[in-house]
Amino acid sequence: MDVVFGIHAVEEALRARSRSLDHLEVARERHDQRLQSVIDLAREEGVTVRFVPREQLDRLARSKSHQGAVAVVAAKEYVGLDTLLSAKRGQSFILVLDGIEDPHNLGALIRTADGAGASGVVIPERRSAAVNATVAKTSAGASEHVKIARVVNLARALEELKEKDVWIVGLDERGGKTYDGLDYNMDCAIVLGAEGHGLHDLIRKKCDYLVSIPMAGKVASLNVSVAGAIVMYEVARQWRGKAQTSEETKSEKARRGLGS
C-alpha cells in the first residue's frame, strides 16, 4: 500500500478512483470546511474515515505538510506506450522525462502536463523518481489523472514513438532552434533532461529536433519544471491557434454560403 497526502491530492484521488483507496485518516484537531468537504466526498465514495492525532498523520505521511488528510491507497499503476497513444484526441503530445530524480520537479511537471493537455508522461524505471506521495502532493492530485508510462529503456521507447509517427523534440541549451521557432502542429514528444546535466547523449541523438530557451541573464539555464512548462504551453498555444483559425475559416465559409 501507498499513501497520498494533502487536501488537493487526496480529493483528486477520491474523484479519479484510478487506484483503490483503503481508508482516509484525518486530523481530529482540524475543523474547517476544506477538510470537511474531503471527508464528505470520502463518505460519498464509501471510503472509511478515521479521525486520528496529527502526530499519527506525521508518521504515516513521513511529512508534516499533509494538511490534516492522508489516504491509504494501492500503489500507482503505470500504463504502456500504446495506451498513451490510444488516449490522444486529435494530435498527440507526450512528455518524456530523461531521469528526473527530484519528486518535486516530477510532480510539478505532471501538473503542467495535465494543464497543457498532454496525452501522458513517460519516465524510465532507473535513475528517476517514481510517482510517490510527494509527487502526488506536488502535482496537486494531477498524478491521479495523467496517464504515466514507466519504461525499462527510454531510448527504445523513443524509437517506438517514432515508429508511430511521433516526432521527438528535445529541450537542450545547445539546440539549433529556439523553443518558439518550431512548428509543433504534429504528433510530438517533448523530451526533458535530468536536473544538472540535461539530456543523456544517446537520448539527444534520438531527437528529431533540439530546441533551446534563450537566456538573457547571467544564469545559463532554468529549473527543469519551469523550462518544461514554457515549452509545453508553447505547444498548447500553437494548437489553440490552429484550432481557432480552423473554426474561423469554417465560420467565414458558412457566412458566405460556401459550405465546407
Dihedral of CA 60/11/46/75: which sign? negative
d(CA 52, CA 68): 9
Predicted confidence (pLDDT) per residue in 59-70, tens digit: 999 999 999 999
Predicted confidence (pLDDT) per residue in 150-165, tens digit: 999 999 999 999 999 9
d(CA 32, CA 53): 16
Residue 251 confidence (pLDDT):
56
Predicted confidence (pLDDT) per residue in 94-133, tens digit: 999 999 999 999 999 999 999 999 999 999 999 899 999 9
Dihedral of CA 182/184/186/188: which sign? positive
Mean pLDDT of all residues in 40-58: 96
Q: Assign 3-class secondary structure to 19-76.
A: CCEEEEEEECCCCCHHHHHHHHHHHHCCCEEEEECHHHHHHHHCCCCCCCEEEEECCC
Residue 254 confidence (pLDDT):
56
Considering only residues 42 and 91, tell me which one the structure prediction assigns the higher pLDDT.
42
Residue 1 confidence (pLDDT):
80
Residue 249 confidence (pLDDT):
47
Domain architecture of the chain: domains with CATH: 2-73 (3.30.1330.30), 81-245 (3.40.1280.10)
Asked whether residue 243 carries a pLDDT value surpassing 80, the answer given is no
Cell numbers describing residue 198: 540535461
d(CA 85, CA 148): 12
**Cβ contact 197:220 at 8 Å:** no
Asked whether residue 48 carries a pLDDT value surpassing 70, the answer given is yes
User: What is the pTM assigned to this prediction?
Assistant: 0.87
Coil, helix or strand at residue 203: helix
d(CA 110, CA 93): 13
Helix spans in the chain (H): 7-16, 33-44, 54-61, 81-86, 103-116, 133-138, 154-163, 201-206, 224-255
Residue 19 confidence (pLDDT):
85
Average pLDDT score over the chain: 90
d(CA 50, CA 30): 13
Mean pLDDT of all residues in 85-92: 68
d(CA 47, CA 122): 31
Predicted confidence (pLDDT) per residue in 179-230, tens digit: 999 999 999 999 999 888 889 999 999 999 999 999 988 887 899 999 999 9
Closest Cα to residue 95, out of 146, 135, 47, 57?
Answer: 146
Helix 103-116 crosses helix 224-255 at what angle (to 10 degrees)? 0
